[in-house]
Structure 1
Amino acid sequence: MRLHRNLCFTVIDSLNAIFNDEEYAGKVVEKALKRDKRWGARDRKFVAETIYDIVRWKRLYNEIAGTKDHFTRDNLWKLFAVWAVLKGIELPDWKYFEGTPVRRIKGKFDEAQSTRAIKESIPDWMDEVGVKELGEAVWSRELTALNLKAEVILRVNTLKIDIATLQKFLRKEEIETEKVRDNPTALRLTERKNVFLTDAFKRGYFEVQDASSQLVAPFLQVQPGMRVVDTCAGAGGKTLHLASIMQNKGQIIAMDIYAGKLAQLKKRAKRAGVHNVDMRVIENTKVIKKLKDSADAVLIDAPCSGIGVLKRNPDSKWKLQPEFLDTIRATQAEILSSYSRMVKKGGKLVYATCSILPSENQDQVTSFLKSHPEFKFVEDRKILPSKSGFDGFYMALLEREN
């Protein structure tokens, strides 16, 4: 592979925005890909994947380069050099790479394999939490899986098209997909491409949604005609999935504390042909109280650490702080207690997170059931990245008896 200056400069500028200006990697990559309209698919792929690679392996590369967590422009070039050497890419004769110790970089990489937190490129505190909650063996397996690149998974919008027809439609747009086992609405891209530019996307034939995330809405066991509440709807990925399962019949109340996210949901719902969703901003507790004992089914896709989706959001492990875990666990317990009041007698509740930590998952459910005897445990599902190949998720189905 031959390195091109304009592409490399874009990577360095992007890393500066992520590491020094604390911008989100996803937004930075999105902006970077618009930098030069002349770039082809290969150029865009290089920029996006290199940025994500260096963000993902930030600690490991930092240890090898000896840059001591100081991300000056010179040091960002050193991290880039480490990335290139470990990828087997020949460094060009540029001033930024003068004196790059190729042999030493490879030796340092070998040395780093003996320390898990450095080898897997995570903060020490996160490694300690993972070992404490999951044990050495499981945590090590999950870290390795979480450092793999996330695949692009589509969810077929069954309100408009079936899975086989969508595959044919996408093939005409030169996008090849394959079905995902045990997931009737999921398609995996065989080669990463920008699906948002396709006619199929504009027609609302699919949404981009990880295969694990696609299992949450069906877990709630909704039926057409029900009254369903999606309490932490965000931009509405699971809301739209619920609508398709319900065949646009009944009512879905999509709630969130952020009006901006619900505005995004409104646009997505229009494209998807969804018209049974009522959006409500949670401005105070009155919004919850008005719905007490009224829902056939309630989904709580709770805010969490996001440790199960590190492969998709690698920069989050550098933004996440240990004290946040205590705060979010308290928030989860509060949300579960408050929002469960909307479930009517005989109704169902699903509590879900994109975390693999028991303290955010089954421990929360156990604690909730002890203080809310009106609910009974039905079943739960733990999805580990090492076993599924997809994001880490947890979901528990509860039923209100009285």
Structure 2
Amino acid sequence: MRLHKNLCFAVIDGLHQIFNENEYADKVVQILLKRDKRWGSRDRGFVAETTYEIVRYKRLYSEIANVKAPYDRDNLWRLFAVWATLKGIKLPDWKYFEQTPSRKIKGKFDELIKIRKFRESIPDWMDELGLKELGEKIWTDEIKVQNEQAEVILRVNTLKTNKKDLQLKLQSENIETEFLSNYPSALKLKERTNVFRTEAFKNGWFEVQDASSQLVADFLDVKPGMKVVDVCAGAGGKTLHLASLMENKGQIIAMDIYESKLKKLKVRARRNGVHNVELKVIDSTKPIKKLHAKADRLLIDAPCSGLGVLRRNPDAKWKLTPEFIENIKQTQTEVLDKYSKMVKPGGKMVYATCSILPSENEEQIDKFLTSETGKAFTFVKDKKVLAHKFGYDGFYMALLEKKTIN
């Protein structure tokens, strides 16, 4: 592979924004990819994948390069040189790569990969937490997979088409996909490409949604005609899935504390042909109280650490803190207590997270079921999805049913 200066400069600029200005990697990469209209798909692929790879292995590469935050541009070039050397890429005769100790880099790499926290490039506290909650084997296997690039999975919008027709439509646009067994609405891309430019996407035939995430709406056991509340709806990936499972019949109330996210959901719903969704901003306790004991089904896609989706958000490793995780667990407890009151007797509720930590998942459910509010519910079933076992994002979901009044 031959390195091109303009592409390498884009990577360095992106790393500066992510590491030094604390910006989100996905947003930075999105902007970088629009930097030069002359770039082809291979150029854009290089910029995106290289940026993500260096973000993913920041700790390992920093240790090898002997650099620390805050990273000046010389340090960022040193990180880049480590990445290129370990990939077997010949470094060009640029001033940034003068005196790069290639042999020393490889020797240091061989030494560090024997230690998990360096090999998988994670903070000490995260390694200790994962080990404590999941045990040596599961944590070692899981964090390894969380460093692999996530595959692109589509969810067919059954309000507009079916899986076979979507596959054929994408094929006509030179995009090859394959079915996934045990995931009724999923298609997997055989090669990464920008699916958002396709006619199929513009016509609302699909959404990009990981296979594990697609399990959550199914788990809620919705039926057409029901009153369903999605209380942490965000931009609405699961809301739209619920709408398709309900065949646009009944009512979905999509709620969130962020109005900006619900505005994105409104745009997506229009494209998807979804018209049974009502949007509500949670700006006080009133919207919740109005729905007390009214919902046939409730989805709590709870705020969480996101440790199950590090493959798509590698910069979260460097943004997360132990204090944040402790705070988010308190939020989860409060959300369960407050929002579960919207379920009517005989109704069902799913609590879901994209975390792999038992303290955010099973332990939250156990705690809830022994609380005053939780005593009104019975545990039906749960599902823990680990990336190293299933191949897709780490997720947890628990189904609870509210007891009927005698």
Common fold, TM-score beyond 0.5?
yes
Q: 2:218 is matched with which residue?
A: 218
In structure 2, the partner of 1:352 is 352
Structure 2: how far apart are the matches of 1:42 and 1:221? 42
Question: What does residue 235 of structure 2 align with?
Answer: 235
Identity of aligned residues (%): 67
DSSP 3-state at the match of 2:253: strand
Q: Which residue of 1 aligns with 2:261?
A: 261
Structure 2 portions without partners, runs of 5+: none
Question: What does residue 49 of structure 1 align with?
Answer: 49
- Which has the larger displacement, 30-39 or 61-70? 61-70
Letter in 1 for 2:395: F
The residue identity in structure 1 corresponding to 2:397 is M
Say whether residues 1:110 and 2:101 are aligned partners: no
Distance (Å, rounded) in 2 between the aligned partners of 1:199 and 1:81: 40
Match of 1:399 among 398, 401, 404: 401
Task: Name whichever of 175-184 and 390-399 sits farther off.
Answer: 175-184
SS, match of residue 48 in structure 2: helix
Q: What is aligned with 1:375?
A: 377
| Corresponding position of 1:4 | 4
SS in 2 for 1:184: coil
Cross-structure match for 1:19 = 19
Q: In the alignment, residue 259 of structure 1 is paired with which amino acid?
A: E
C-alpha distance in 2, partners of 1:181/1:391?
16
The match for 1:275 is 275
Q: Which amino acid aligns with 1:96?
A: Y
Query: Cα deviations across residues 220-270 of structure 1 (Å, max 9, x unaligned)?
Result: 000000000000000000000000000000000000000000000000000
Deviation, structure 1 residue 68 = 2.4
4+ aligned runs moved over 3 Å, structure 1:
none
- 1:333 deviates by 0.4
Secondary structure at 2:192 match in 1:
coil
Q: SS in structure 1 opposite 2:392? A: coil
Give the SS at the match of 1:311: coil
| Partner-residue secondary structure (3-state), 2:149 | coil
Deviations 1:49-73 (A, max 9, x none): 0000000000000000001233110
Secondary structure of residue in 2 paired with 1:399: strand
CA offsets 1:49-103 (integer angstroms, 9 cap, x no match):
0000000000000000001233110000000000001111110010000000000
Correspondence 1:84 to 2:87: no
How far did residue 374 of structure 1 move?
1.1
> What is the alpha-carbon distance in structure 2 between the residues aligned to residue 370 and residue 181 of structure 1?
37
Rounded Cα–Cα distance in structure 2 between residues aligned with 1:22 and 1:69: 12
Aligned equivalent of 2:143: 143
- Give the CA deviation at 1:180: 1.2
Within 1, Cα distance between the matches of 2:123 and 2:281?
35
Look up the SS of the partner of 1:278 in the other structure: strand
Q: In 1, distance between residues paired with 2:314 and 2:155?
A: 23
Match of 2:301 in 1: 301
Residue 399 of structure 1 and its aligned partner are, at CA, apart by 0.2
Aligned partner letter, 1:15: L
Give the superposed CA RMSD. Answer: 0.5
Name the aligned partner's letter for residue 212 of structure 1: S
Displacement, 1:113? 1.4
Q: Structure 2 CA distance, aligned partners of 1:346 and 1:203?
A: 38
Residue aligning to 2:101: 101
Q: Match of 1:307, SS? A: coil
Deviating more after overlay: 195-204 vs 68-77:
68-77
Query: Which residue of structure 1 lines up, in the alignment, with residue 250 of structure 2?
Result: 250
Aligned partner letter, 1:375: F
Q: Give the letter for the 2:120 counterpart.
A: E
Counterpart-to-counterpart distance in 2, 1:117 and 1:284? 43
2:63 match: 63
Alignment of structure 1 residues 112-131 onto 2, 5 Å: 112-131=112-131
Partner of 1:339: 339
How far apart are 1:285 and its partner, in Å?
0.8
- Structure 1 alignment gaps of length 5 or more: none
SS of 2:359's equivalent? helix
Distance 1:95 1:179 in 2: 48
1:334-391 deviations in whole A, cap 9, x for unaligned? 0001100000000000000000000000000000001121100000000000011110
Tell me the SS of whatever aligns to 2:211. Answer: coil
Counterpart contact for 2:20–2:70, Cα < 8 Å: no
1:389 aligns with 391
For normalisation by structure 2, the TM-score amounts to 0.98
2-structure distance, mates of 1:266, 1:391: 26
Q: 1:181 maps to what in 2? A: 181
2:321 partner amino acid: Q
- Give the AA of the match of 1:31: I
Task: State TM-score, norm by structure 1.
Answer: 0.99
Alpha-carbon deviations, 1:149-187, whole Å to 9, x = none? 011110000000100000000011111001112001011
Superimposed CA distance per residue, residues 179-224 of structure 1 (whole angstroms, 9 cap, x where no aligned partner): 1120010111100000001110000000000000000001000000
